[in-house]
Amino acid sequence: MGAAIIDGKAFAARVRARVAEGVAGLAGRGIVPGLAVVLVGEDPASQVYVRSKGRQTVEVGMRSFEHRLPADTGEAALLDLIAQLNADPAVNGILVQLPLPGHLNSDLVINAIDPAKDVDGFHISNVGLLSTGQKAMVPCTPLGCLMMLRDHLGSLSGLEAVVLGRSNIVGKPMVQLLLGDSCTVTVAHSRTRDLPDVCRRADILVAAVGRPQMVPGDWIKPGATVIDVGINRVAHEGGTRLVGDVDFDSAAAVAGAITPVPGGVGPMTIACLLANTLTATCRAHGLPEPEGLTA
């Protein structure tokens, strides 16, 4: 194995420490950032995420507001809650955990959040701001990927980047962030012709397709930096284990650097959610933004 392992767990701990410093700095002004998380229904994976978000929010010195609503909550009641959170000065960030139960229109609900409090960066205004190179709230997972790439490579200017996957949550915002750092960006997906050849062009390969171990080592340019966003649970020796979208062992033999699964991109997502909440709080009070925690 030749690749350097990019340790997302350690990196996320450093991000949280910087967020905690920023929060401590605001305390002198009597400001305590607050993050509201809304969970509708009892999806087990979502419950785990929400608990983890609440715990980490408190650990960096912020206030955590959790709103757990029954699975049969109507759209009007959910929109009422969002309106209350929009109006509450103690709430600087609002996150509605996805997926929502099928009877709720996710686009409508997300677009009801005040864009300045939209710490997921999913509101259509933030999507538009990011894609036009204006100051936006940036989705947490791609922001975490960008931070790790900058940390590992320094300047990304002029590098060939291939983003595998075109989701609204990861692929598309990742493209915008890489363009913002002056990469030459290709978006590849399940219908892309000659996918292995396209991937082999990449100095930076971001895999975010949700297909276990889809990218083998011989799709990777020697020395490339590989960011694996996939978190796939697969059967293994009578139990299960987590794997990424990249076949780690064969990829690590070729790449210059690679994120593992677990312990790569995953821990960065919540760390960036906290970073976004701090950023939103600073903007709300007209204060300078924290350094190194934004795009």
What are the residue numbers of the active site? 53, 97, 120
Nearer to ligand GUN, 120 or 245 (CB): 120
- CA-wise closest residue to 244 among 292, 271, 275, 208: 208
Nearer to ligand GUN, 73 or 97 (CB): 97
User: Segment 95-154, which members bind ligand GUN (CB under 6 A)?
Assistant: 95-98, 120, 140
Stretch 59-98: interaction string toward ligand GUN, x if CB under 6 A = ------------------------------------xxxx
Q: Identify whether the C-beta of residue 20 lies closer than 8 Å to the C-beta of residue 60.
A: yes
d(CA 34, CA 58): 9
Contacts of 291 (CB under 8 A, 6+ apart): none
User: Strand, coil or helix: what is 5?
Assistant: strand
Work out how close the CB of 69 gets to ligand GUN at its nearest, in angstroms, rounded to a whole number.
14
Site string for ligand GUN, 192-231 (x = CB under 6 A): ----------------------------------------
Q: With 0-12 CB in 10 A as exposed, 13-18 as middle and 19+ as buried, what is 248?
A: buried
Q: What is the rounded CA–CA span in Å between residue 3 and residue 16?
A: 26
Contact assessment for residue 10 and residue 17, using Cβ atoms and an 8 Å cutoff: no
Q: How far is the CB of 32 from ligand GUN (least distance, A)?
A: 22
> Site map for ligand GUN, 261-280, x if CB under 6 A?
--------x-----------
Write out the residues near ligand GUN by the rule CB under 6 A: 95-98, 120, 140, 269
